[in-house]
Amino acid sequence: MAAIRTVKSFTREKGIFCIEGSWEKDHRDKKSVIKVLEFLECIEDVKSITKQCHNPLTLKELLSDSMLTKYSKYAIIYLAFHGSPGEIFVGKRNQTVTLDEIADIIGNKANGKIIHFGCCSTLDMDGWAIRRFLKKTNALAVSGYTEDIDFLQSTAFDLLYFQQCQRTYDIRVIKKNMRAYHNKLGKELGFVIHYWK
């Protein structure tokens, strides 16, 4: 018997499991989303785990770990990388990992989870490809950007998005609230949320 998909998440509390790539090749550069997630935990008590990822093998291990039962309260998978349509860049050599490859790693274990791509234009792709990703992973929703994005603006928007995610268990309400309160910036960044209707 097929599982019934729902637009509601399993838990009201949605911790964040963040996997972050290298933003710059210069080791002196301190660009990171870690401080933003620490700020969110301080203000909204949103628990987070942040792991650095410098190659596709580590990405595979961390994505697999994020699906383990012990991390079930971390319902937002936050992938913070450079990207382009349908893929993210991992490591100093900018090795590409496609959404299909990410879906294969996750399998159908993302039930009740939101997978968010904090990456340039990764979700600038056909709707059928997004639906395939949702079907493969069994995720509650996938979100991210269809445009090339400014790091500061998009990270600030991610913060506002994660805050909204804590306030309801219904993804439709999250989408409605993001449009109501943050529509102008969302449009500039090409922010989208896809889910099963």
Mapped onto helix, strand or coil, the DSSP state of residue 104 is helix
Residue 173 has pLDDT above 90, yes or no: yes
Mapped onto helix, strand or coil, the DSSP state of residue 162 is: helix
Q: Name which of 133, 73, 82, 79 is nearest 103 in CA terms.
A: 133
List Cβ neighbours of 1 (8 Å cut-off, separation of 6 or more): none
9-13, 75-79, 103-107, 179-183: least confidently modelled range: 9-13
**Which residue, 61, 76, 147, is CA-closest to 110?**
76
Whole-prediction pTM value? Answer: 0.92
* The pairing of beta strand 95-98 with beta strand 87-90: antiparallel
pLDDT band at 4 (very low <50, low <70, confident <90, very high): very low
Q: How far is CA 44 from CA 38, 39, 135, 165, 169, in A?
A: 10, 8, 31, 11, 16
Residue 82 pairs with which residues in a beta bridge? 89
The Cα 9–Cα 150 span in angstroms is 29
- Classify residue 146 by burial, with Cβ atoms within 10 Å: 0-12, 13-18, 19+: middle
150, 11, 145, 31: which is closest to 76 by C-alpha?
Answer: 11
Using a pLDDT cut of 70, give the percent of the chain over it.
Answer: 89
Place of tokens 């990822």: 53
Task: Tokens for 189, please give them.
Answer: 């960044």
pLDDT digits (tens, 9 = 90+) for 53-74: 999 999 999 999 999 999 999 9
- How far is Cα 172 from Cα 190, in angstroms, rounded to an integer? 18
DSSP for residue 41: H
Among 28-37, 138-147, 167-176, which stretch is predicted with the lowest mean pLDDT? 28-37
